[in-house]
């Protein structure tokens, strides 16, 4: 159970009197609690970021979200963005993927959980009221894992019923976790086509080597099958796709397993994205995870400043993956995450124009209304 990884709790003074705080503290008896005046007083990492990150993975910070919960996905110029919107309910998670881009950005020595849930719900209701014609694709899995700490937070049980009555909104619950204890109570709230349970997928060998403390591929697919059977839609993200000798056969088997696990009719979308990260992360990956292959392949600095595989390799990977997914899940929407129009055209034969990708995915929301 992931909460067993938590070795200390940092409690922001302003977060003391919230229901989520009391629930989390009750679920973690015996874990030392340190009261702090404000999370802004916490010192950022010094020279040894690798050691600091190791400590941060086993610490939990309970805090109040001072800014908006609802934020646009941080897109990049020259790359096609899908218009996804993020609910920032947490930052970081107890899972420990070698390639996680948050390693390079998080400056708080803990996984942060924002406990002011009523403010979140009020913000959502206000946004929907002010823009009733807008299509909302919202997710909680951009800055953390949507399920990994839900046994403590119990946030999804509040969000799922809220979305049930919103014909122009969906909530994506994206995860690499699949424990029965977290999932079963949520599936009991179905059917609800306004909620999409999504899993990031990779071949099992990649999961064992690069995605520490996460659920196995088999358990993720079993969880997805149960979510679909309970009346929810499902989605899958092959992101990052990681190159290694034998990658094509490994990903082919993974896609075939996916096709046997869920019906194509229940899939909201499938995304593809090749491995990418800021240059300083390469040495950090080697330092924290000496056995990792994630940073071993030759890469080039792209216009967005990140290291990426060479274009021809990305085009090949995307094209092969799209072919396999079309065979395994006929009719399911497949799109590229944060890729250039040129790569779209070479891999898929077309590139969405203007807001074309946004409209394509928004249609998946309204279709299920």
Both structure tokens of 164: 């049930």
| Strand intervals (E) in 125-194 | 136-139, 169-175
Q: Where are the domains of the chain?
A: 2-367
Q: For position 270, what pLDDT does the model report?
A: 98
Quick check: 77 pLDDT over 80? no
- Residues 43-74 pLDDT 10s: 766 668 888 888 889 999 999 999 999 998 87
pTM attached to this predicted model: 0.96
Nearest to 136, CA basis, from 87, 192, 78: 87
Average pLDDT over residues 130-151: 94
For residue 331, how many other CB atoms are within 10 A of its CB? Answer: 8
The three-state secondary structure class of 84 is coil
The three-state secondary structure class of 50 is helix
Both structure tokens of 238: 């092959």
Q: For position 92, what pLDDT does the model report?
A: 93
Q: For position 200, what pLDDT does the model report?
A: 98
Q: For position 44, what pLDDT does the model report?
A: 67
In a 13 Å sphere around the CA of 287, the CA atoms on its Cβ side amount to: 14
- Residues 211-260 pLDDT 10s: 999 999 999 999 999 999 999 999 999 999 999 999 999 999 999 999 99
**Residue-wise burial string across 3-33, b where 16 or more C-beta atoms lie within 10 A, e elsewhere:** eebbebbbbbebbeebebbeebbeebeebee
Mean per-residue pLDDT over the chain, rounded: 94
In a 13 Å sphere around the CA of 156, the CA atoms on its Cβ side amount to: 31
Average pLDDT over residues 33-44: 88
Contact in structure between 78 and 304 (CB atoms under 8 Å):
yes
Let me know if domain 2-367 sits in CATH 3.40.50.970.
no
- Rounded to 5°, the CA angle 128-129-134 comes to 45
In a 13 Å sphere around the CA of 322, the CA atoms on its Cβ side amount to: 17
Contact in structure between 337 and 274 (CB atoms under 8 Å):
no
Average pLDDT over residues 253-277: 97
Quick check: 188 pLDDT over 60? yes
Of the candidate ranges 76-85, 232-241, 318-327, the one whose mean pLDDT is the lowest: 76-85
């Amino acid at each position: 159970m992931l909460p067993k990884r938590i070795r200390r709790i940092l409690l922001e003074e302003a977060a003391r009197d919230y229901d989520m705080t009391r629930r989390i503290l009750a679920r973690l008896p015996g874990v030392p609690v340190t009261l702090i005046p404000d999370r802004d007083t916490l010192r950022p990492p010094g020279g040894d970021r690798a050691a600091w990150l190791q400590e941060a993975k086993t610490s939990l910070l309970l805090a109040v979200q001072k800014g908006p919960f609802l934020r646009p996905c941080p897109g990049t110029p020259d790359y096609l963005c899908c218009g996804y919107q993020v609910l920032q309910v947490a930052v970081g998670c107890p899972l420990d993927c070698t390639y996680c881009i948050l390693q390079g950005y998080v400056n708080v020595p803990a996984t942060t959980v924002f406990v002011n849930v009523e403010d979140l719900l009020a913000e959502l209701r206000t946004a929907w009221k002010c823009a009733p014609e807008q299509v909302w694709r919202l997710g909680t899995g951009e800055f953390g894992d949507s399920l990994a700490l839900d046994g403590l937070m119990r946030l999804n049980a509040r969000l799922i019923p809220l979305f049930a009555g919103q014909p122009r909104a969906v909530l994506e619950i994206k995860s690499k976790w699949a424990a029965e204890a977290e999932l079963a109570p949520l599936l009991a709230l179905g059917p609800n086509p306004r909620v999409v349970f999504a899993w990031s997928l990779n071949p099992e060998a990649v999961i064992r080597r690069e995605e520490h403390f996460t659920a196995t591929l088999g358990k993720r697919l079993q969880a997805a099958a149960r979510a679909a059977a309970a009346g929810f839609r499902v989605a899958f993200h092959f992101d990052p796709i990681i190159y290694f000798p034998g990658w094509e056969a490994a990903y082919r088997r993974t896609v075939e397993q996916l096709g046997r696990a869920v019906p194509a009719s229940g899939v909201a979308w499938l995304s593809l994205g090749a491995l990418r990260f800021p240059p300083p992360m390469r040495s950090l990956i080697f330092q924290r995870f000496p056995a990792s292959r994630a940073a071993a392949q030759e890469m080039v600095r792209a216009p967005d400043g990140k290291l990426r595989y060479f274009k021809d390799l990305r085009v090949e990977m995307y094209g092969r993956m799209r072919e396999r997914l079309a065979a395994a899940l006929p009719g399911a929407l497949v799109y590229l995450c944060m890729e250039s129009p040129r790569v779209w055209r070479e891999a898929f034969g077309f590139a969405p124009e203007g807001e074309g990708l946004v409209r394509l995915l928004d249609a998946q929301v309204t279709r299920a209304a």
